[in-house]
Amino acid sequence: MKRFVCALLLFAATTFAASIQTPSQFLGFEVGADRKLADYRQIVSYFHALAAASPRVKVESLGKTTLGEDFIMAVVTSEGNMRNLEKIRETARKLADPRGLNDEQIAQLARDGKSIVLVTCNIHSSEIASSQMAMEWAHALASANDVETKRRLDNVVLLLVPSLNPDGQIMITDYYRKYLGTRYEGGRLPWLYHHYVGHDNNRDWFMLTQLETKELSRAVYHEWYPQVWVDEHQMGTDGPRMFIPPFADPLDPTVHPLIWREANLVGTNMAFRLEQQEKAGLIYGFSFDAYWLGGTRNTGWWKNITGLLLETASARIASPIVIDPSELRGGQKGLIDYKATINHPHPWAGGTWRMRDIMDYERIASDALLETAADRREDLLRDVAVRARAAVAFGGKSAYRIPHDQHDWPTAQFLAALLIEHGVEIQQAGNGDYWISMAQPYSRFLDELLEPQRYPEVRLQPGKDILRPYDVASWTLPLALGVTVEKTVMPPKAAFPRVTEIKPETEEVIKRHASQPKPRIAIYNPWGGALDEGWTRWLLDSYGFTPKSLHPQEVKAGLQNLDVFILPDIDKEEIATGRRAGGEGSMKYVDELPPENRGALEKEGAQALRTFVENGGTLIAFNAGCDYVIDNFNIPVRNVLAKATPTDFSVPGSLARVHIRTDHPVTAGMPEETAVFIDHPIAFETTLPGNEMQRWVLATYPDDARDVLLSGWINGEEKLTRKAAAVAMTFGKGRIVLFGFRPQHRGQTHATYPMVFNALYWGR
């Protein structure tokens, strides 16, 4: 009888599994095949069908994307866990904030709880393979009945986001299908692959400016409290096949060391399982460091979550590529020469590389993640509590105070509201001051955001250059926002009420211009897209402006019916010729866009800009865009760093001090000193012009090089001393404003927003 029951259960399980369609069966084509892609809407449909067919899968809506798509996350786990999700989430929440729990209570929660693992795919929409892999992986977990799969699902709750950039995934898929079978098959988009921020959607995770970032961040830090977060990316075509942690140096020493140990543990098992299946080209300790705060899983490091990055070599979207062995190269941190090394022991030999290969590597690594999360379930749960306790102890009795009495109270409110959105506890005193006790689990995160950065200068050999930053080197929000925040001690027996929601007041600069008609604004948008164009458009849209985004042909046609034209941070060669300038001896080749998506300003565009300004328009340029204006307008300004080499001057993205001339319309309402975000070799010298124009130096760097850097890292800061950071001038009947920095950088530099808005209204 027992044998009959077992046979009956096996038959039922087999029948149940067979009734669940594979993604290929559901979609009607082979997922992962050459030149075949499922778009995001098809992926969502498949996940809903999978959830309807399997009790192991549930689809949660995270909200709406920027362009209105349904933003989903799949929950995949055993049937028993699915019935107890609320208890599992509550256990994770308690371990993420173990204040009031003793050792035995923590141990019991770790024994009773389940690992919660988050896997996010396809944040950069051209890195599309993981969105396809997610369907196959979810199907396998939903339908498999082997003992090991069941064990993993009994111990782990998988949160699977098939695309972190649904709008961009649709853009990529539509464009790929349009040009399939042509010379443009698999080529780059002519525009940003996110409505606003393109590749920078993975640079937004401490600032939370975009809808997609906000919605997933809420799920992570307010609803699910995962212990491990893996973000699946793709990288270039001509190097290793897959990066898996351990990360490269430098690391941020404020991150709890258990984060690195767990990341190394998970990553090592991934590499082990991949190597067992003869997947060549695995590398660790390569390129991607453990220092920067802004990415998906990176931000989680300071919030006690172990975050891992996977980077797999790309194909041409879904089209295969062939790499000659001679084209394989290193040249990056962790692999100078392309050969076997201890961190790269089995180099890929070259040949054909497909999206199917990418999916296979990602799938093996993802399965290995679940294996480790199941094996180490109690460790992962307990370690979160260990890290949270350590953070509370680190905070001790210290606190931050955001005083009500300061230059820009609405932006101070914005900072406090942002911290609440991150899950930080904030109280408010009767006089309006915000108080943030550091005796809370996110104290390391607070310290990282509110204090200046000093980049750790790591040398791999004596006498050699330091390891340069992978991304920006500063994210100090009080400086970037222009908000006064004081480090102090929490008042004894303070009983200030906790604040759970803050609606910032309207900024003074917006109030000042509220009675004026909004200027008619256009932003230059080169073919191929420009991140700074997107961020500028986002900023202006966010404050109620309606800027036009003009491609080169539209500029050449004339700029009638406009008041302001903005040149964002784009290299002057790209503006003038449409080709991005490379370094000396670099490869000049770029794959061409379709004929209708080509072009640059050239002589006709430059003349259209001059005519626009001469006739009364305002031209505003940001950062590298200033070099184009200097070259094409007869103005008394030069960039003294225009020919600087990285040895002379380099800055990956840092906050520097400038002194402000406050008696000009562009700087009205600004303090006499502020921080500006710089990441480009640009510093102005001016001279006295003739009678045909006026010029004003709006912002200057300090006289002493020691006073320049506020947060981050600069090589050659002495070259900025006594140089201008922003200048303005009349030109014909119009005006020109040059910002030698990014005053709207990634939606983070509120301190310099007023100068942008003032410049829009100058002369109106």
723-742: pLDDT as tens digits: 999 999 999 999 999 999 99
Can you tell me the distance from the alpha carbon of 331 to that of 255, in angstroms, rounded to the nearest whole number?
Answer: 28
- Mean of the pLDDT values across residues 340-351? 98
Other Cβ atoms within 10 Å of 132 Cβ, number: 26
Phi and psi for 493 in degrees, rounded to 5?
60, 30
Does 371 share its domain with 478? no
Convert the pLDDT of each residue in 498-539 to its tens digit: 999 999 999 999 999 999 999 999 999 999 999 999 999 999
Does 418 share its domain with 557? no
Does 543 share its domain with 474? no
Q: Count Cβ neighbours within 10 Å for each residue of 577-586 and write b for 16 or more, e otherwise.
A: ebeeeeeeee
Is the pLDDT reported for residue 154 higher than 90? yes
- Mean of the pLDDT values across residues 482-503? 93
| One-letter amino acid for residue 394 of the chain | F
Domain boundary among 365, 390, 415: 390
Can you tell me the distance from the alpha carbon of 539 to that of 528, in angstroms, rounded to the nearest whole number?
Answer: 20
Q: What is the DSSP letter of 726?
A: E
* Residues pairing with 737 in the sheet: 620, 728
269 occurs within a structural domain: no
SS3 call for 290: strand
SS3 call for 738: strand
The pLDDT-based confidence of 764 (bands split at 50, 70, 90) is: confident
More confident residue, 461 or 353: 353
The pLDDT-based confidence of 283 (bands split at 50, 70, 90) is: very high
Q: Smallest Cα–Cα separation from 101: which of 382, 506, 454, 460?
A: 382
Q: Smallest Cα–Cα separation from 579: which of 569, 589, 567?
A: 589
529 occurs within a structural domain: yes
Strand 673-678 relative to strand 282-283, pairing = unpaired
Is the pLDDT reported for residue 752 higher than 60? yes
pLDDT, position 442: 98
The pLDDT-based confidence of 494 (bands split at 50, 70, 90) is: confident
Does 479 share its domain with 619? no
Does 410 share its domain with 370? no
More confident residue, 632 or 465: 632
Instruction: Compute CA 716 distance to the chain's CA centroid, rounded to the nearest angstrom.
Output: 27
pLDDT, position 2: 53
Range of the domain at 201: 2-236+353-390
Does 612 share its domain with 475? no
SS3 call for 589: coil
pLDDT, position 10: 47
Does 430 share its domain with 364? no
- Mean of the pLDDT values across residues 684-705? 97
Domain boundary among 345, 362, 390: 390
Least confident of 188-202, 507-521, 575-589: 575-589
Can you tell me the distance from the alpha carbon of 312 to that of 244, in angstroms, rounded to the nearest whole number?
Answer: 9
pLDDT, position 256: 98
Q: What is the DSSP letter of 485?
A: -
Whole-number average pLDDT of the chain: 95
Query: Do 72 and 61 contact (CB within 8 A), yes or no?
Result: yes
Does 133 share its domain with 220? yes
708 occurs within a structural domain: yes
- The count of structural domains within the chain is 3
Distance between the two ends of the chain, CA-based, in angstroms? 90
Can you tell me the distance from the alpha carbon of 660 to that of 673, in angstroms, rounded to the nearest whole number?
Answer: 6
Does 121 share its domain with 39? yes
Residue written as token pair 């996350």: 73
CA distances to 367, 692, 716 from 129, in Å: 16, 58, 41
Query: Do 365 and 242 contact (CB within 8 A), yes or no?
Result: yes
Other Cβ atoms within 10 Å of 278 Cβ, number: 7
pLDDT, position 9: 43
586 occurs within a structural domain: no
Is the pLDDT reported for residue 11 higher than 70? no
Residue 109's CATH number? 3.40.630
Is the pLDDT reported for residue 12 higher than 50? no
Does 443 share its domain with 531? no
Does 644 share its domain with 573? yes
Percent of the chain with pLDDT over 90: 93
Query: Do 619 and 567 contact (CB within 8 A), yes or no?
Result: yes
Q: What is the DSSP letter of 55?
A: T
Least confident of 16-30, 421-435, 512-526, 627-641: 16-30
Convert the pLDDT of each residue in 642-659 to its tens digit: 999 999 999 999 999 999
The pLDDT-based confidence of 1 (bands split at 50, 70, 90) is: low
pLDDT, position 6: 47
361 occurs within a structural domain: yes
Convert the pLDDT of each residue in 412-440 to its tens digit: 999 999 999 999 999 999 999 999 999 99
- Mean of the pLDDT values across residues 614-629? 98
- Mean of the pLDDT values across residues 386-405? 98
340 occurs within a structural domain: no
DSSP of 239-264: S-SEE-SSPEEEE-TTS-HHHHHHHH
pLDDT, position 580: 78
pLDDT, position 33: 98
SS3 call for 319: strand
Percent of the chain with pLDDT over 70: 97
Does 677 share its domain with 568? yes
Convert the pLDDT of each residue in 533-581 to its tens digit: 999 999 999 999 999 999 999 999 999 999 999 999 999 999 999 987 7
Other Cβ atoms within 10 Å of 511 Cβ, number: 12
Q: Which pTM does this prediction carry?
A: 0.96
Query: Do 250 and 467 contact (CB within 8 A), yes or no?
Result: yes
Can you tell me the distance from the alpha carbon of 726 to that of 658, in angstroms, rounded to the nearest whole number?
Answer: 10
Can you tell me the distance from the alpha carbon of 239 to that of 41, in angstroms, rounded to the nearest whole number?
Answer: 33
Q: What are the residue ranges of helices labelled H in 97-234?
A: 103-112, 129-143, 147-155, 166-178, 211-218
pLDDT, position 20: 95
442 occurs within a structural domain: yes
Domain boundary among 499, 523, 544: 499
SS (H, E, C) 682-711: CCEEECCCCCCCCEEEEEECCCCHHHCEEE
267 occurs within a structural domain: no
Other Cβ atoms within 10 Å of 192 Cβ, number: 25
